[in-house]
Structure 1
Amino acid sequence: MNKERLVSYTDAVIAIAATIMVLELHAPKSVSVPALFSMWPTMLAYVISFALIYLVWMSHQNIFNKANVISIQTYLINGIWLFILTLVPFATSWVGEHPNDTLPEFLYMLIEFLWGFCFQLMDNQIIRDNPGVEKDVTDTFLARTVLYGGLVLAMMMSFFIPIMSLVILGFVLIILTIVIIRN
């Protein structure tokens, strides 16, 4: 399978997803500082989603740079991973519009959980196809515990204080960024 075509296609889908997300940002209804500050949930959801997309794009580049063989299984997992990624702009917009409602927050966290899990499956498949290739820096016990534990906690929190789900995911993002930078 052609690795360069797959990476190029993936890069294009990621760029489109990020563009769609920014197009969902709308100016405040009035020209005032309070109106701007009233948009904080929308901006927080956008910043977290953009940062997650960027970090995962970087990790995607890292795992594919190490691979010499790309199997059909990797193509399929990458396709599922991209499909889930394309749901992120929708969920980000919904969370931004309804930060205090359970369903948007829960769905957003579920999408992020499935997206992360698919990435791990793809990393593991690349390692199976390319013996001797190192795992992604995020494929450690600490990083996976923070990611999945944080997302499960955020999903549970969405039933009690929905906006806290987004705050928890923000902390997860900060910790994962530190893990990536340190490696």
Structure 2
Amino acid sequence: MVVPQISGPLSNTVVQNSYYSLVPNLFALVLSFLLLAILWNSHHRIFNHIEKINDTLLWINVIWLLFIILVPFSAFSLGQYGNYILPNVIFNINMLGIGILLYINTHYALKMNFIKEETTKFRYRRYANIGFIFIYLLALLLSFTFTSWSPVTYILILPLTLVTRE
């Protein structure tokens, strides 16, 4: 996000309007930051239970990181052009990819017996990952019908994070 360059005669109204035009970008920035914080927290808590790793699990995480680094691009396009379908679809596919890879990460570690101990909290976290995926899918579907409301869907993630806290 860039501070606006204002040309021409300046006044309080002109400066205010320039800053008001940044509100959608600021919303997208804060939304993506909060989502990444929640996902990083979930990833961190999952890896607290993993005692072994192999190349496949490592590559699942590398691809997960690829989707993570695409978030600034998808969030910027959402902030700039959030009233249009394509930027919403791009952002929601980006988040869906992150959610699916987080689930694959957990599922693979369980399948390969890399988990120290599967606690009740860990099982809740697995279910929360599935919940994340459904929320991302809902946001993606809303991109085509209620485009501007699609990002609001992510508020549903908050109850999932409360369930999986330790």
Q: Name the TM-score, length of structure 2 as normaliser.
A: 0.81
Distance in 2, matches of 1:145 and 1:57, equals 16
How many residue pairs match? The answer is: 155
By how many angstroms is 1:127 displaced? 2.1
SS at match of 1:175: helix
- Tell me, yes or no, if the aligned pair for 2:71 and 2:91 is still in contact at 8 Å: yes
SS of the aligned residue for 1:112 comes to helix
Counterpart in the other structure of 1:176: 160
Partner SS, residue 144 of structure 2: coil
Question: Of residues 148, 153, 166 in structure 1, which corresponds to 2:151?
Answer: 166
Q: Please list the CA deviations of residues 51-73 of structure 1 after superposition, one character each: whole Å capped at 9, or x if unmatched.
A: 11112112222122221111222
Following superposition, the deviation at residue 101 of structure 1 comes to 0.7
Q: Distance in 2 between matches of 1:116 and 1:159?
A: 20
Q: CA RMSD in A?
A: 2.2
**CA positional deviation for 1:115:** 0.8
State the Cα distance separating 1:46 from its structure 2 match: 0.9
Q: Which residue of 1 aligns with 2:125?
A: 138
Partner of 1:5: none
Asked if the contact 2:49/2:116 (under 8 Å) is kept, the reply is: no
Structure 2: state its 5+ residue gaps.
7-11
Q: Which amino acid aligns with 2:21?
A: S
Q: Give the distance between the partners of 1:178 and 1:37, measured in 2 at CA.
A: 33
How far, CA to CA, are the matches of 2:151 and 2:74 in structure 1? 12
- Counterpart residue type for residue 151 of structure 2: L
What residue is the counterpart of 2:95 in the other structure? 112
The equivalences for 1:77-96 within 5 A come to 77-96=60-79
Partner SS, residue 79 of structure 1: helix
Q: Which amino acid letter does the alignment assign opposite residue 138 of structure 2?
A: L
Query: What amino acid is the match of 1:178?
Result: L
Would you say the 8 A contact 1:100–1:161 is kept in 2?
no
Identity fraction in percent: 26
Matched, 1:147 2:123: no
User: What residue identity is the alignment partner of 1:153?
Assistant: L
Letter in 2 for 1:126: A
Give the TM-score normalised by structure 1: 0.74
The corresponding residue for 1:20 is none
**How far 1:173 sits from its partner (Å)?**
3.3
- Indicate how the Cα distance of structure 1 residues 42 and 177 shifts in structure 2: closer, same or farther if over 3 A, else same: farther
Q: Contact 2:32–2:75 (CA<8 Å) still a contact in 1?
A: yes
Structure possessing the higher radius of gyration over alpha carbons = 2
Which stretches in structure 1 are left out of the alignment for 5+ residues? 1-24
